[in-house]
């Protein structure tokens, strides 16, 4: 066995037998080059052939693995499949929005936020869900307390994706917030508040896509197709919003296998 190891792992620092002092102690700092090399050789011989790392599963982040599904979207309900012309127009409009956002990003970033706007930290998942969706949607409250004299309470109804807000978000934050909202959408219904933010975040997403973003938007499109099929009342406005997101993911971000085929 040792000869096999020697062939696969030749010694880079071969140490021949040398005359060392009788009082040579490998546990104390070496005094000569010969003692140093001998000490290295002794320590190497004590190393086990196989080392197993002790990993604490609690310290592993659940977001490390990126799973990319190759499954496509479910077809639109009969009579609700968007035409190719409509999809092409949405892509053109979306492209114009992205160009305008990039052109004026520095201007909007320099604008002062209202005193009631406090953007959560990038890693604050619950904070971002409440910020974007509002307490009413996030906590699934049917009605708000009526007090028209107080005006709009954005804490309750959620902050809209204002340019002065999204322009301050770097790509890491954009991807994180997109992940938070898609995770929420995976178990909840589609709402106008969610739709506005998803559109804005997609507009801020830079190309070429990172693997994590690629996986996220595909997950989003598939979820939209699932909700679209399950839409009981066939609300045309909501189905149109879902069609729009699927269209942008598939045709603007080049995930063509997810695209709706015109009827």
Q: What is the pLDDT of residues 17-47, one digit of tens each?
A: 556 666 677 777 777 777 777 777 777 777 7
Look-up: residue for tokens 């998942």? 125
d(CA 115, CA 109): 15
Q: What is the CA radius of gyration of the chain?
A: 29
- Here the tokens at position 255 are 């995930």
How many residues are recorded in the chain? 263
- What does the pLDDT look like over 48-93, one tens digit per residue? 766 666 676 655 555 555 444 446 789 888 888 999 999 999 999 9
DSSP assigned state of 28: S
Task: Enter the CATH code of domain 82-140+151-256.
Answer: 1.20.58.1070
Stretch 126-133: mean pLDDT: 95
In the chain, count of helices (H) and strands (E)? 10, 0
Q: Reduced to 3 states, what is the DSSP secondary structure of residue 197?
A: helix
**pLDDT tens, residue by residue, 217-254:** 999 999 999 999 987 677 889 999 999 999 999 999 99
As a whole number, mean pLDDT of residues 116-138 equals: 92
Peptide bond into 93 cis (omega under 30): no
Contact 77, 231 (CB under 8 A): yes
Average pLDDT of span 118-124: 95
Query: Could you give the CA distance from residue 248 to residue 90 in angstroms, rounded to a whole number?
Result: 8
In this prediction, residue 51 carries a pLDDT of 65
Query: Domain coordinates of the chain in residue numbers?
Result: 82-140+151-256
């Amino acid at each position: 066995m040792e000869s096999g190891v020697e062939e696969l792992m030749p010694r880079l620092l071969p140490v021949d037998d040398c005359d060392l002092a009788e009082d040579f102690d490998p546990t104390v700092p070496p005094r000569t080059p010969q003692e140093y090399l001998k000490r290295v050789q002794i320590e190497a011989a004590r190393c086990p052939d196989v080392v197993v790392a002790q990993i604490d599963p609690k310290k592993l982040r659940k977001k490390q693995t990126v799973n990319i599904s190759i499954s496509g979207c479910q077809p639109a309900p009969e009579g609700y499949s968007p035409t190719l012309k409509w999809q092409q127009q949405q892509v053109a409009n979306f492209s114009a929005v992205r160009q305008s956002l990039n052109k004026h990003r520095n201007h909007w970033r320099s604008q002062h936020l209202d005193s009631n706007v406090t953007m959560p930290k990038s890693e604050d998942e619950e904070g971002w869900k409440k910020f974007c969706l509002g307490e009413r949607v996030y906590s699934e409250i049917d009605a708000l307390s009526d007090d028209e004299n107080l005006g709009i309470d954005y804490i309750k109804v959620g902050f809209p994706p204002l340019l002065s807000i999204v322009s301050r978000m770097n790509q890491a934050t954009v991807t994180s917030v997109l992940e938070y909202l898609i995770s929420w959408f995976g178990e909840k219904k589609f709402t106008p508040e969610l739709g506005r933010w998803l559109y804005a975040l997609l507009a801020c997403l830079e190309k070429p896509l990172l693997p994590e973003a690629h996986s996220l938007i595909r997950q989003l499109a598939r979820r939209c197709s699932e909700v679209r099929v399950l839409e009981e009342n066939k609300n045309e406005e909501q189905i149109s919003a879902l069609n729009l997101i699927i269209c942008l993911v598939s045709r603007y971000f080049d995930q063509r296998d997810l695209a709706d085929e015109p009827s």
